[in-house]
Amino acid sequence: MKLQFGRLFALFALLFGPQTAPAASRTVDFSNYDVPLYTQVVNRIKAKVSARLGEGTNTRDRYFIIPFAYEDKGNHPEFSHSFISVIRVFADDKQPKLTPGLEKQTYRDREFEAFTISWLPRDFMTNPHLCVFDGVGSHVIPQNNKCPISPGRNFSLEETIRLAVNDKNAVAMWGPYEMAKQGFDLAVQRKHLLDGGTIKYRADDRLYRRDRVAISCFHAMAGLDHLFPNGGIFGTGFKMWGLNGTARVLIEYRERAGEKGLLLEPVDVKNDRYGFVYAPTRNGVVPYDPVRNASAYRR
């Protein structure tokens, strides 16, 4: 019992404690300030994956997962989001069997497939007004929440980053983490499930996720081997948004996927995190910086 309580206390401290690093230890890099944020993100992913592959011949397919989050100052749920990108790098000099629905791409003479799970209301690009909790006590009592169920859509990485830029949000990424082929296959299954049109979107999905009526962005990317794990205080989902939400998913991946051999390397939820933060001027004040190391971007 003491061990369980200790783990629970550590989890609460991790998720609900201060997210912003002390000012003295914070580092913001302005060298790519004029580079669009989406390009900064993609360049970092490519550099990290290329370093992992090395210069020699890649004799087998390799699979990587990159968790993301964005949030505003104050971590309001209406302006927060969790999402994840998945990459399959093909073995060199082999004819791959392509994954249905994915486009083959090339980078530095290596071919790969990639997709993103970013679950939001279908019209969110033109109507970015998210209803999360509406009703007295709805944070605790799901029956009191008047927010509607919306048709959902899986957004691309480029679209999702654009949403973050529009609101000048802080973006965080973890990894890339290498995973087994079974993990990639589960992610593809999740993408096909979401793209199938049978599941809708609702930020507070407590009454709807068990029957696969509607789910949140958190549950769309969480539990690749178990569709609807609980999260938040007593399973309510409270505070499971933005960086907290993705951190919770990573804890789950570390414990569940690691045990099943799906995740092939260790995860450090805090130290693996890298950020991209908005700055109105080059080398100027950053209005919101919740991560220890980050690159600055402008709109």
d(CA 52, CA 140): 44
* CB-based burial, 19-30: b 16+ in 10 Å, e otherwise: bebeeeebebeb
The CA radius of gyration of the chain, in Å to the nearest whole number, is 19
For 65-79, 119-133, 246-260, 266-280, which range has the lowest pLDDT when averaged over its residues? Answer: 246-260
d(CA 275, CA 287): 14
**pLDDT tens track for 92-142:** 988 888 999 899 999 888 999 999 999 999 999 999 889 999 999 998 899
Highest mean pLDDT among 4-18, 253-267, 279-293: 279-293
d(CA 72, CA 108): 35
- Residue 123's Cβ-side half-sphere holds a number of Cα atoms within 13 Å equal to 7
Tokens standing for 185? Answer: 């296959």
CA distances in angstroms from 299 to 27, 33, 108, 127, 240, listed in the order given: 20, 10, 29, 19, 27
Angle at 215 between CA 152 and CA 132, to 5 degrees: 85
Tokens standing for 93? Answer: 């000099």
d(CA 257, CA 263): 6
> How many residues are given for the chain?
299
Residue scoring higher pLDDT (61 or 16): 61
Backbone dihedral angles phi then psi of residue 98, each to the nearest 5 degrees: -75, 150
d(CA 172, CA 243): 7
Q: What is the DSSP letter of 110?
A: E
Beta bridge partners of 113: 88
Beta strands at 214-215 and 177-179: parallel, antiparallel or unpaired:
unpaired
pLDDT (0 to 100) of residue 64: 97
Quick one: pLDDT band at residue 24, thresholds 50, 70, 90?
very low
pTM given for the model:
0.87
CB 135 within 8 A of CB 149: no
